[in-house]
Amino acid sequence: MNDLDKIFQEIKADPENEDFEAQEIDPLYSAYPEAKICFIGQAPGRIAQEKSLYWDDPSGDRLREWTGISRMEFYNSRKIAIVPMDFYFPGKGKSGDLPPRKDFAGKWHPQIFKQMPDIKIFILIGNYAQKYYLNLKSNQNSTEVIKNYNKYLSKGFFPIVHPSPRNNIWLAKNKWFEADVVPEIKKIIRKALDDLSYFD
pLDDT, tens digit, 9 for 90 and up, residues 15-55: 999 999 999 999 999 999 999 999 999 999 999 999 999 99
For residue 84, pLDDT beyond 70: yes
The residue ranges of every structural domain in the chain are 3-193
3-state secondary structure 94-142: CCEECCCCCCHHHHHHHHHHHCCCCCCEEEEECHHHHHHHCCCCCCCCH
Q: Which of 129, 121, 73, 124 is nearest to 100 (CA)?
A: 129
Arithmetic mean of pLDDT, 88-92: 92
- The average confidence (pLDDT) of the chain is 94
User: What is d(CA 102, CA 93) in angstroms, rounded to the nearest whole number?
Assistant: 16
For residue 178, pLDDT beyond 80: yes
The whole-model pTM stands at 0.94
CATH fold of the domain at 3-193: Uracil-DNA Glycosylase, subunit E (3.40.470)
- pLDDT, residue 123, reads 98
Query: Could you count the other beta carbons within 10 Å of the beta carbon of residue 38?
Result: 24
Burial of 181 (0-12, 13-18, 19+ CB in 10 A): buried
CB 199 within 8 A of CB 164: no
Assign 107 a pLDDT band (cuts: 50, 70, 90): very high
- pLDDT, residue 73, reads 95
- pLDDT, residue 53, reads 96
**Burial letters for 141-165: b for 16+ Cβ neighbours within 10 Å, e otherwise?**
ebeebbbebeebeeeebbbbbbbbe
